[in-house]
Chains A and B, each alone.
Chain A
Amino acid sequence: MKAVLERGGAAALALEGITCSFAGAAGEPGYTAVREATLVVEDGEFVSIVGPTGCGKSTLLNVAAGLLAPSAGSVHVFGQPLAGLNRHAGYLFQADALMPWKCALENVVAGLVFRGAAREQALETGRAWLRRVGLEGFGDRFGHQLSGGMRKRVALAQTLALDPAILLMDEPFSALDVQTRVLMENELLDLWSADRKSVVFVTHDLEEAISLSDRVVVLSAGPETHPIGEYAIDLPRPRDVSEIRLLPRFIELHGRIWRAMKSEVLKGYARQRQ
Chain B
Amino acid sequence: MRGNGSRLRLKAIQIALLAGAFLAWHVLTSPTLLPPIYFGDADKAAFFFGEPLKVFSRLLDWFVSGEIYRHLWVTLIETLLAFAIGTLGGVGFGLWLARAPLAAAVLDPYIKAANAMPRVILAPIFMVWFGLGMASKVALGVTLVFFIVFFNVFQGVREVSPVILANARMLGASPRALLRHVFLPSAMSWVFASLHNSIGLAFVGAVVGEYLGSAEGVGYLIHQAEGVFDINTVFAGILLLTAFALVLDWAVTILEVRFMLWQPRAGETEKL
Q: A114-B172, A114-B173, A158-B171 are in contact. Are A142 and B163 (CB under 8 A)?
A: no
Q: Is B17 an interface residue (CB 8 A)?
A: no
A65 to B170: give the CA distance in the assembly, Å. Answer: 8
146-193 of chain B: CB within 8 A of chain A: 161, 163-164, 166-174, 177, 181-182, 185-186, 188-189
Query: Are B164's CB and A99's CB within 8 A?
Result: yes
Q: Is A265 an interface residue (CB 8 A)?
A: no
Specify which of B168, B172, B177, B262 is in contact with A162 (CB 8 Å cutoff).
Answer: B172
Q: Is B121 an interface residue (CB 8 A)?
A: no
Stretch at the interface among A6-14, A88-96, A195-203: A88-96
Query: Are A85's CB and B170's CB within 8 A?
Result: yes
A222 to B174: give the CA distance in the assembly, Å. Answer: 34
- Inside 8 A of B172's CB, which chain A residues have their CB? 87, 111, 114-115, 162
Query: Are B261's CB and A90's CB within 8 A?
Result: no
Instruction: Give per-residue flags for A65-96: 1 if the beta carbon is below 8 A from chain B beta carbons, else 0.
Output: 10100000000000000000101011101011
Q: A87-B172, A114-B177, A162-B172 are in contact. Are A97 and B262 (CB under 8 A)?
A: no
CB-based closest 5 A-B pairs: A111-B171, A97-B167, A144-B264, A101-B185, A114-B172
4-39 of chain A: CB within 8 A of chain B: none
Besides the known contacts A85-B169, A89-B170, A144-B264, 12 further A-B residue pairs in the complex with CB atoms under 8 A apart: A65-B170, A67-B170, A91-B167, A93-B166, A97-B163, A99-B168, A101-B185, A101-B186, A102-B185, A110-B168, A114-B172, A145-B264
A91 to B173: give the CA distance in the assembly, Å. Answer: 14
The total of chain A residues at the interface (CB under 8 A) is: 29
- Inside 8 A of A93's CB, which chain B residues have their CB? 163, 166-167
Query: Are B163's CB and A95's CB within 8 A?
Result: yes
A57 to B31: give the CA distance in the assembly, Å. Answer: 84
Query: Are A103's CB and B262's CB within 8 A?
Result: yes
Query: Are B166's CB and A97's CB within 8 A?
Result: yes
A102 to B261: give the CA distance in the assembly, Å. Answer: 10
14 of the cross-chain contacts (CB-CB < 8 Å) are A87-B172, A93-B163, A93-B166, A93-B167, A98-B164, A99-B168, A101-B185, A101-B189, A103-B262, A114-B174, A114-B177, A142-B261, A143-B262, A162-B171
Q: Is A134 an interface residue (CB 8 A)?
A: no
A233 to B266: give the CA distance in the assembly, Å. Answer: 48
Per DSSP, chain B at the interface is helix
94-132 of chain A: CB within 8 A of chain B: 95-103, 110-111, 113-115
- Inside 8 A of A65's CB, which chain B residues have their CB? 170
How many A-B contacts are there with CB distance less than 8 Å?
69
Q: A99-B164, A101-B186, A114-B177 are in contact. Are A142 and B169 (CB under 8 A)?
A: no
- Inside 8 A of A91's CB, which chain B residues have their CB? 166-167, 170
Interface residues of A (CB under 8 A from B): 65, 67, 85, 87, 89-91, 93, 95-103, 110-111, 113-115, 142-145, 158-159, 162
Interface residues of B (CB under 8 A from A): 161, 163-164, 166-174, 177, 181-182, 185-186, 188-189, 261-264
- Inside 8 A of A101's CB, which chain B residues have their CB? 185-186, 188-189, 262
- Inside 8 A of B177's CB, which chain A residues have their CB? 113-114
- Inside 8 A of A103's CB, which chain B residues have their CB? 262
Closest to A62 in B: B166
- Inside 8 A of B185's CB, which chain A residues have their CB? 99, 101-102
Query: Are A142's CB and B170's CB within 8 A?
Result: no
Closest to A158 in B: B171
Closest to B189 in A: A101
| Distance from B192 Cβ to chain A, minimum over Cβ atoms (Å) | 11
- Inside 8 A of B262's CB, which chain A residues have their CB? 100-103, 142-144
| Distance from B81 Cβ to chain A, minimum over Cβ atoms (Å) | 28
- Inside 8 A of B168's CB, which chain A residues have their CB? 99, 110, 114
Closest to A103 in B: B262
User: Which of the listed residues A91, A96, A97, A162 has the most CB atoms from chain B within 10 Å of its own CB?
Assistant: A97
A166 to B174: give the CA distance in the assembly, Å. Answer: 21
Closest to B186 in A: A101
Closest to B162 in A: A95
A99 to B169: give the CA distance in the assembly, Å. Answer: 12
| Distance from B210 Cβ to chain A, minimum over Cβ atoms (Å) | 38
- Inside 8 A of B173's CB, which chain A residues have their CB? 110, 114
